[in-house]
Structure 1
Amino acid sequence: MVYTVTLNPALDYEVLVDGFRAGELNRTSWEHMHFGGKGVNVSTVLHGLGVGTTALGFVAGFTGKALEDGLKARGIPTDFIRLEEGLTRVNVKICSGGGGGETEINSQGPAIPPAALEALLQKLDRLGAGDVLVLAGSLPAGLPSNVYQTILDRVEGRGVLTVVDAARDLLKGVLSRRPFLIKPNSAELAELFGKGSLTEEEVLACAGSLQKQGARNILVSMAGDGSVLLDETGAARRLGVPPGTARRSVGAGDSMVAGFLAGWLETRDYAAAHRMGAAAGSATAFSNGLASGEEIRTLLPLF
């Protein structure tokens, strides 16, 4: 079973605005509400691929209920902790036509009291050998900056494979816990090493540094340039992207994590896992939402 933890999930309200103009009245030509947050996205894609998964985290208020009910309606198991105060955040993603790119407005989300964190840790005490734990995304208010380390320490020694998809200090802080997989994108990797951008050779060098610090496998997504996997056997694997029109980037990295895990759990082979991850990330980039299992498996032979 793959358990995902999203400490700050969200309803992602994504809109397409042709020629978005700041400070003026804009009208949408397409809109959609996603049940989001990085770990929630991972669970959604895993479910579509037929992998058993449960989404964990915190929800609050009527927006939290909408998120929880929406996931359950899609058949995605959840075990969220309901907070007494606050609202699950609503994030706005504005996709502008005509090469205008994407603008994101992310809310803060509710504060998490210590008792709620302890309740989550107690749920994680149920995990054991053969389970996978995915920690993904940013931290809401009220949680200590070392909470990811605390969670990984809690499951240490029980045969749980751990995955972390986070940026900056959140990522650096977990390396000594030897996570099975980390998945920075190239921009996050450059920021981590104080660089403006990275060549492919520099991506591999930086990934190698993170591996020396403890991460077992490093999967780096590079948008239109594909992805690189530095695995624990010492192999550096490079994949490009298949032909297609990129519609959005939201959720593509989360889909890559889900695809990698699905491929690994099915084959125990890093090359196969990388191909499935690349197919999942590309399929989501080519769609208007998170890719379905069918869309992912259609692209898989292209890798």
Structure 2
Amino acid sequence: MITTITLNAAIDQVYEVDSLAVGGTNRVSTIIQEAGGKGINVAKVLKRSGADVTVGGFAGGINGERIRQLLLKKSIPSELIQVEGESRVCLTVLDSKKSKVTELLESGPQITKQEWQSMLNWIEDQSQSVKWFALSGSLPKGLPTTAYAELIDIINANGAKAILDSSGDALQNGIKAKPYAIKPNEFEIATILGKATVNETDLLDVGKRFVDDGVEHVCFSLGEKGAIFVNQEGYFKADAPKVEVINTVGSGDAFVGGLLYGLANGEEPLIAYKRALACGSVNAMYSKIGFIDSQQVEELMAQITIIKL
């Protein structure tokens, strides 16, 4: 069993237009509506990979009920804690002609202290039976930047393992709690280092620092450039397979889903790394967010070569 946590769940609404006219009238050719938020996207990838997965987090209002219904349609069980506020809608506009993506993201509900305590209690119970967790996404209003660190402390104390994918102070504080794996991108590392940009040497240095501090797997997702991985065995690099890109939204979540599926099923780390990269690439081939085809994942894994640096 794997549990994914989405503290700021959403309805993902995808509109496809022939050519986006800013300030003009746009006619939508295709509409896709999914339950969303990074942890939910991870869960969708895990489900399509064949994993037994449950979704946790917060959901509120009419949108919250719709999120539960959309998960049920995909046969993904959820134990989302009811909150007073209204869950958000995230709109993605795909410009078919220019192959560009525009995102409009609502901020989501304000979480109360009582609602957060309910989450801490739920994680305490859940992590006594579930051994793998994905903690993904931004923090909703009302939560401290130590929120993920608090969850990781509980998960670790109960002998379970967490993969963290966040940004800013939530990521930095979460890393201090020693999650089993993290998946920052270049921008997030640049922010941590206080730099405008980072190079490969920066990534290797900070990756080693995180591993020395207790993180087992540091996975730097580099988009179309592939990924760099750091663990106790050293430094590894892989190029992304060449695919026809339709929509990159959710590819980072698919990466986490592939990584988590591999590690939770006892795959060797390098195989799990290939699976992560392949899942992220397959997701980019589709308009849907957090979608993979398992056969295509296996085919791309066979094309990926990981070298030791």
Instruction: State the TM bucket, normalised to the shorter chain.
Output: over 0.9
Residues 99 and 246 of structure 2 are in contact (CA less than 8 Å); yes or no, is this contact kept in structure 1?
Answer: no
Please state if 1:121 is matched with 2:114.
no
Secondary structure in 1 matching 2:110? coil
Please state if 1:280 is matched with 2:282.
no
How far is 1:95 from its partner?
Answer: 2.3
In the alignment, which residue of structure 1 is the partner of 2:182?
A: 182
How far is 1:198 from its partner?
Answer: 2.6
Matches within 5 A, 1:141-220: 141-220=141-220
TM-score by length of 1: 0.93
Q: Which moved more, 1:143-152 or 1:7-16?
A: 143-152
Secondary structure in 1 matching 2:299? helix
In the alignment, which residue of structure 2 is the partner of 1:13?
A: 13
Matches within 5 A, 1:1-303: 1-83=1-83, 85-99=84-98, 101-126=100-125, 127-128=127-128, 131-231=131-231, 233-289=232-288, 290-303=291-304
Deviation per CA, 1:49-94: give whole Å up to 9, x if none: 11111100111111111111111121111111112x3221001112
Mapped partners of 1:121, 1:241: distance in 2: 37
Residues 256 and 277 of structure 1 are in contact (CA less than 8 Å); yes or no, is this contact kept in structure 2?
Answer: yes
Mapped partners of 2:208, 2:17: distance in 1: 41
2:296 alignment partner AA: E
Which structure 2 residue ranges, 5 or more long, are not aligned?
A: 305-309
Secondary structure in 1 matching 2:218? strand
Deviation per CA, 1:245-274: give whole Å up to 9, x if none: 111111101111110111112234110110
Mapped partners of 2:61, 2:129: distance in 1: 35
Mapped partners of 1:11, 1:142: distance in 2: 20
TM-score by length of 2: 0.91
2:121 alignment partner AA: Q
Mapped partners of 2:129, 2:175: distance in 1: 21
Residues 45 and 293 of structure 1 are in contact (CA less than 8 Å); yes or no, is this contact kept in structure 2?
Answer: no
Deviation per CA, 1:101-122: give whole Å up to 9, x if none: 3221110111112222122222
Mapped partners of 2:214, 2:168: distance in 1: 16
Mapped partners of 2:122, 2:129: distance in 1: 15
> Aligned-residue CA RMSD in angstroms?
1.8
Percent identity, please.
28
Residues 246 and 285 of structure 2 are in contact (CA less than 8 Å); yes or no, is this contact kept in structure 1?
Answer: yes
Q: 1:192–1:18: structure 2 CA closer, same or farther, 3 Å change rule?
A: farther
Residues 130 and 159 of structure 1 are in contact (CA less than 8 Å); yes or no, is this contact kept in structure 2?
Answer: no
How far is 1:29 from its partner?
Answer: 3.0
Q: Which moved more, 1:171-180 or 1:289-298?
A: 289-298
How far is 1:130 from its partner?
Answer: 6.2
Secondary structure in 2 matching 1:29? strand
Mapped partners of 1:14, 1:218: distance in 2: 31
Which structure 1 residue ranges, 5 or more long, are not aligned?
A: none
How far is 1:100 from its partner?
Answer: 6.0
2:7 alignment partner AA: L
Deviation per CA, 1:155-178: give whole Å up to 9, x if none: 332211011100011111022211
Q: Which moved more, 1:216-225 or 1:187-196?
A: 187-196
1:288 alignment partner AA: S
Q: Which moved more, 1:284-293 or 1:174-183?
A: 284-293
Mapped partners of 1:196, 1:47: distance in 2: 37
Mapped partners of 1:13, 1:264: distance in 2: 31
Mapped partners of 1:266, 1:158: distance in 2: 19
Residues 259 and 277 of structure 1 are in contact (CA less than 8 Å); yes or no, is this contact kept in structure 2?
Answer: yes
1:69 alignment partner AA: Q
Q: Which moved more, 1:37-46 or 1:143-152?
A: 143-152
Residues 85 and 111 of structure 2 are in contact (CA less than 8 Å); yes or no, is this contact kept in structure 1?
Answer: no
How far is 1:229 from its partner?
Answer: 1.0
How far is 1:129 from its partner?
Answer: 6.8
